[in-house]
Amino acid sequence: MKKKRILFTSELPGNSFKENLNHNEFEIFLAEDIEGETLQKKVEKVNPSGIIALLSDKIDKNVIDSAPALEVISNYAVGYNNIDVTYCHEKGIYVTNTPDVLTDATADIAILLILMVSRRAVSSDRFVRTGHFKGWGPQLFVGKSLQNKKLGIIGMGRIGLAVAKRAVAFGMDVIYCNRNKVEKEKEKAVNAQYVEIEQLLKESDFISLHLPYTPEVNHLIGKNEFGIMKKDAVLINTARGPLVDEKALCEALISGEIYGAGLDVYENEPAVEKGLMDLENVVLLPHIGSATEETRSEMAEMAISGCISVLSGSVPENIVKPF
């Protein structure tokens, strides 16, 4: 019997992906070994039954149609806005993702950004490295406390809840908005109060985004929303870049409409709005929300096992459906 083909768009961390797969059953291809200028061309050449993709791989109709044998696309990410899931659904192609395993790592990064912005960590570090530290001073890099501050979480799914849990440990009060109110016990565990987005924007000292990206929430946070926020509000985005109008953010940071921002994701990733680069009140990380050795290995296992399940005729665990 002809072996089914799996195309990895990139090698994954953890154990070597080649050793992880049963070679009697599958033929493994790595995109960088395949000739072709675009992913579409490579997909066309291999005609895989399974693709293991990164969040930076745009899997659109053209790519999908280039592989008539395609049965499954396993995204090495929890977010899947890089894949035309509706089209896959129409064609009966499974899409899987990697939820849960990256929840804690991503929540840690959101808290890290809150602390880095509020305690001016990057500027302070640069100050020391450039030889400017001449001794302790009462006004030296004074930032903001987290204790008794209000954290507004937009998107109270797994990651939002994990951020809330951490925020409670810092003595913060949590309010949130979400498509639906979360279950009472979950709210209670983090003492979170459900509010409408307008109230959240108005009252929060820190606002952290944890919702999936869809075109409906493009620029959810823009000029109008910065106008509603407190003057000393801090915006954190570890979800997806296009949720925030980066130009408007830049203007809000320059004009002092808000205090600061911490970003791990960008509107036109990997490009970053030029104006942001020169600002001291924004911390910029290179999309490292899930970047721990442990998490990335677990993501690899999950993505691979989702793909193998489908190709072996079973229903995978983490099926993604169109919104």
Q: Provide the minimum distance between the beta carbon of 81 and ligand DGY in the complex, in angstroms, as a whole number.
A: 9
Of 118 and 295, CB closest to ligand DGY: 295
Q: Provide the minimum distance between the beta carbon of 2 and ligand DGY in the complex, in angstroms, as a whole number.
A: 33
Of 40 and 290, CB closest to ligand DGY: 290
Eight-state DSSP code of residue 21: S
| Catalytic residue selected from 240, 246, 267, 273 | 240
Of 171 and 286, CB closest to ligand DGY: 286
Q: Is 219 a catalytic residue?
A: no
Q: Provide the minimum distance between the beta carbon of 291 and ligand DGY in the complex, in angstroms, as a whole number.
A: 7
Q: CB under 8 Å to 149, separation ≥6 — which residues?
A: 172, 173, 205, 206
C-alpha torsion angle, residues 85, 86, 89, 90 (rounded to 10): -140
**Residue 190 near residue 124 (C-beta atoms within 8 A):** no
Of 238 and 281, CB closest to ligand DGY: 238
| Catalytic residue selected from 267, 287, 296, 298 | 287
Backbone dihedral angles phi then psi of residue 177, each to the nearest 5 degrees: -130, 155
Q: Is 287 a catalytic residue?
A: yes
**Burial label, 51 (beta-carbon count in 10 A; 0-12, 13-18, 19+):** buried
Q: Which residue do the tokens 């053209």 mark?
A: 62
Q: Provide the minimum distance between the beta carbon of 75 and ligand DGY in the complex, in angstroms, as a whole number.
A: 8
Q: Provide the minimum distance between the beta carbon of 71 and ligand DGY in the complex, in angstroms, as a whole number.
A: 22
Q: Is 210 a catalytic residue?
A: no
Residues that bind ligand DGY (CB under 6 A): 55, 77-79, 102, 287, 289-290
Tokens for 269? 């990733």
Of 213 and 226, CB closest to ligand DGY: 213
Q: CB under 8 Å to 195, separation ≥6 — which residues?
A: 152, 175, 176, 177, 203
Cα 132 to Cα 124: distance, rounded to the nearest angstrom: 10
Query: Where in the sequence numbering do the catalytic residues fall?
Result: 240, 269, 287
